[in-house]
């Protein structure tokens, strides 16, 4: 929580921003997102592309590689990696620059497109985590989550669900 509060200050985020924690326990994937009006919709995708204080701080404090990923389904997807508090890699793919293969039979089906997406930044990250690309894109909607107020105004019962989520991820 303290790192998230520090990230709020570094990224210039409104104090009423919340921290959303989503967990996929099977693969021990924990998704952290600063959520507020500034992170909604396409504008939010662009905001996340430019603000990485939480990932950077967490990588430094925990001594692990933290991946930050963004997907604007109309424009681009990107993955950035942070280690030891530094940006250590990543990739951005602009969808309008993707060249679709020409098929001899004239068909490019959903299965072929999914195989192609598996080589894109989010597909590669999903492979690293041992999950499907779609799981990463739906993690915040589909799996257990907790929303925590970072300004101290959250409900008293918000911390136990987080503890429970993190225990599930560690199990």
Give the contacts of 38 (CB within 8 A, at least 6 positions apart): 13, 14, 17, 44, 47
Q: Does a structural domain hold residue 44?
A: yes
pLDDT at 15: 80
The count of domains in the chain is 1
pLDDT at 156: 41
Q: Does a structural domain hold residue 102?
A: no
Q: Are 80 and 87 in contact (CB under 8 A)?
A: yes
Cα-based angle 47, 132, 137 (whole degrees, multiple of 5) = 25
Q: Does a structural domain hold residue 145?
A: yes
Q: Does a structural domain hold residue 19?
A: yes
Tell me which residue of 10, 6, 16, 54 sits closest to 37, measured CA to CA: 16
pLDDT tens readout for residues 3-21: 888 998 999 888 888 999 9
pLDDT at 164: 64
The answer to whether residue 82 scores a pLDDT higher than 60 is yes
Q: Are 66 and 79 in contact (CB under 8 A)?
A: no
Tell me which residue of 45, 36, 31, 29 sits closest to 13, measured CA to CA: 36
The answer to whether residue 158 scores a pLDDT higher than 50 is no
Q: Does a structural domain hold residue 18?
A: yes
pLDDT at 166: 61
pLDDT at 110: 81
Q: Does a structural domain hold residue 74?
A: yes
Q: Does a structural domain hold residue 109?
A: no
pLDDT tens readout for residues 106-124: 667 788 888 899 999 999 9
């Amino acid at each position: 929580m303290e790192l998230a509060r520090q990230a709020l200050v570094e990224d210039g985020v409104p104090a009423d921003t919340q921290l959303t924690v989503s967990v996929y326990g099977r693969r021990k994937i924990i998704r952290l997102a600063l959520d507020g009006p500034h992170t909604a919709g396409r504008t939010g995708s662009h905001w996340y592309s430019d603000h990485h204080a939480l990932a950077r701080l967490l990588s430094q404090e925990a001594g692990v590689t933290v991946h930050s990923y963004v997907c604007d389904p109309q424009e681009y997807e990107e993955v950035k990696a942070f280690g030891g508090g530094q940006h250590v890699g990543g990739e951005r793919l602009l969808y309008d620059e993707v060249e679709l293969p020409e098929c001899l039979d004239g068909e490019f089906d959903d299965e072929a497109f999914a195989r192609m997406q598996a080589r894109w930044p989010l597909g590669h990250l999903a492979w690293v985590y041992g999950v499907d690309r779609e799981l990463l894109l739906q993690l915040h909607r589909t799996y257990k989550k907790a929303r925590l107020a970072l300004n101290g105004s959250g409900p008293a019962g918000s911390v136990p669900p987080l503890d429970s989520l993190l225990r599930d991820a560690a199990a």
